Amino acid sequence: MKKLLIAALLFVGIASFAQEADQKPTREPRERLTPEQRNEKQLKKITSELNLDANQQAQVKKLLADRSAKAEQLREARQAKKDNNVKPTAAEREALKKQIMDEKEANDAKMKAILNADQYKKWTSIQEEKREQAKEKMKEYRKENN
């Protein structure tokens, strides 16, 4: 009887240990920044990467504020539709995609006007690297969830 009890406890211990090994490690939750804090953080990063002068910093700060305000409006509109259980039609999705692309192109044009040629070239290469990293993360995410 003693051997049976020890074997059962050993089995339960091993089974629970095996389950812990299968679970994915959880990420630390990100701190939630206000839009102003995010803009300041982005401005500091861009300033250090591109060596912006004071005038350029002021212009980029205004651009980041405008961009984040527009993004917040889009997010709120999307959330309102989601709360009302209204799914966008294919035409609405295409219109939103076009609007986002137009905003991106306008922001790129504004950045080109603010930055000098070398800074703009470096900024576009950084943006491309970020896009590639996002694609890689998305591939990994899809691989994990399939």
Asked, for residue 102, whether it belongs to a domain, the answer is: yes
Whole-Å CA distances, 140 to 29, 79, 119, 136, 143: 19, 27, 32, 6, 5
The per-residue pLDDT for 119 is 93
**From CA 146, how far away is CA 140, in angstroms rounded?**
10
**From CA 95, how far away is CA 78, in angstroms rounded?**
13
Does 100 have pLDDT greater than 70?
A: yes
Asked, for residue 80, whether it belongs to a domain, the answer is: yes
Total structural domains within the chain: 1
Asked, for residue 99, whether it belongs to a domain, the answer is: yes
Does 64 have pLDDT greater than 90?
A: yes
pTM for the full predicted model: 0.70
Asked, for residue 25, whether it belongs to a domain, the answer is: no
| Domain span holding position 109 | 33-121
Does 68 have pLDDT greater than 80?
A: yes
What does the pLDDT look like over 6-53, one tens digit per residue? 777 667 777 766 555 455 556 677 778 888 999 999 999 999 999 999
Asked, for residue 10, whether it belongs to a domain, the answer is: no
Asked, for residue 72, whether it belongs to a domain, the answer is: yes
Asked, for residue 142, whether it belongs to a domain, the answer is: no
User: Which residues touch 115 (CB under 8 Å, ≥6 apart)?
Assistant: 50, 52, 56, 123
Asked, for residue 117, whether it belongs to a domain, the answer is: yes
